[in-house]
Amino acid sequence: MCGAGISGLTVAGQLASNGWEVTLLEAAPERRTQGYMIDFFGPGFDAAEKIGLLDRLRKLHYPISEARFIRPNGRSRSVGYGIVAANEGGKLLSLMRQDLELALFELLPDNVDLRFSSAVVAVEDRTDYVTAVLADGSRISGDVVVAADGIHSAVRHSVFGDQQSFERQLGMHTCAYTFDSPRLHAMLGDALVSTDVRDRMVGLYALRDGSVALFAAHRVDDPALPADSREAIREAYAGLGADIDEALAKCPDPEKLYYDQVAQIELPVWSRGRVVFAGDACQAVSLLAGQGASLAIAGGVLLAEKLVSDSEPSAAFAEYEEEWMPVVAEKQLAGRRAANGFLPHTAFQLWMRRAALAVIHTPVLGKFVTSSITGTKALK
């Protein structure tokens, strides 16, 4: 297994609890603690229940009461989170990404050989076995490599070459970090407060440990990542008011924050030989679809089920791809369609989003608006 993120932990846990011998290789030196708030709903919700994760997630979730959108003139519109959750049949939890990862770590059976500081740089596929080559030159062989090493997957590069042909850049960058501000923490309470302007958004929410979390996204002309992410953040979100200015002044060093492109991965096949891909490495839907973690868990559970029940890896891979690829393609399309609602570019798009938020509390239209926010089917 390559990558101990949401997807890798899910697959490793399920395979090990079915008697598989699993080595889980993670590039980071320890469990990662950076993250952002995710709305956990969709297929992963049911999969989490199936593997016994849900009770723990219910304890770790943040009971967000409302999302408040604030305009530059100070006027605001609040959307009760209960409405969004109700329109998802009550199956929605707001979680910090690192808490979701923590819950998956806790569920990991003792027999998983988890190795940090173990970056996989290449895989060599033989007929009867496959070998993962690590950055320090060491090699580990096994029956199957599950590549769950995220959106910038090194294994994908090793197996399929040219990365760019599989990436669909969506013209945005995103970032997240936490900082201390007793004043903002008290002001936020249990609300998620977001700016309401064109081309960029900044959201703030209070965390249990007394800190404040920032999550932001902005449109870019060039998808290339900046040399200095902190400088890029300060430039992109300047002029959005005193509260945001305070948050920007407290932006930490680049290595302590999350900054990345907003992109989708469209891989025409998800396996080759004894290597199979899972999670963002093959199916990134982007934050616009808001279900990447959910799909990483659901897809991971499905892949593990297929591997456990089929005697040949190739048969398991084929069934996994056949069942799961169409689900992901649909979510990716929904994500792209949500782009202008998430970050309106024109004055008309901004007006449309405000109009949509105004009707979210009405029974029928509210369901349509929620579905366009969450990327699920309206009026199921």
Ligand X SMILES: Cc1cc2nc3c(=O)[nH]c(=O)nc-3n(C[C@H](O)[C@H](O)[C@H](O)COP(=O)(O)OP(=O)(O)OC[C@H]3O[C@@H](n4cnc5c(N)ncnc54)[C@H](O)[C@@H]3O)c2cc1C
Residues that bind ligand X (CB under 6 A): 2-8, 25-28, 32, 36, 38-40, 97, 119-120, 148-150, 154, 174, 176, 215, 260, 279-281, 287, 290-294, 296
Residue 131 CA to residue 155 CA, distance in Å, equals 11
- Give the shortest CB-311-to-ligand X separation in angstroms: 27
Least Cβ distance, residue 345 to ligand X (angstroms): 19
Strand-by-strand arrangement of the 130-134 sheet: 120-125, 130-134, 139-142
Burial of 98 (0-12, 13-18, 19+ CB in 10 A): middle
d(CA 5, CA 15): 15
Shortest distance in whole angstroms from residue 152 CB to ligand X? 7
Q: How far is the CB of 295 from ligand X (least distance, A)?
A: 7
- The nearer residue to ligand X, 31 or 75, going by C-beta atoms, is 31
- Output the six-digit token pair for 49: 């229940």
Minimum CB distance to ligand X smaller for 70 or for 95? 95
Residue number, 8 or 13, with CB nearest to ligand X: 8
- Looking at beta carbons only, is 244 or 288 nearer to ligand X? 288
Name which of 184 and 303 has its Cβ closer to ligand X: 303
Structure tokens at 43: 């297929």
Nearest-angstrom CA–CA distance, 316 and 306: 5
Q: Is the dihedral of CA 338, 344, 345, 349 positive or negative?
A: positive
DSSP one-letter code for 344: -
Q: Taking the complex as a whole, how short is the minimal distance between the CB of residue 361 and ligand X, in angstroms? A: 22
> Closer to ligand X at the Cβ: 182 or 252?
252
| Three-state DSSP class for residue 69 | strand
We find the least distance from the C-beta atom of residue 252 to ligand X, in angstroms, to be 16
**Dist CA 237 CA 219 (whole Å):** 11
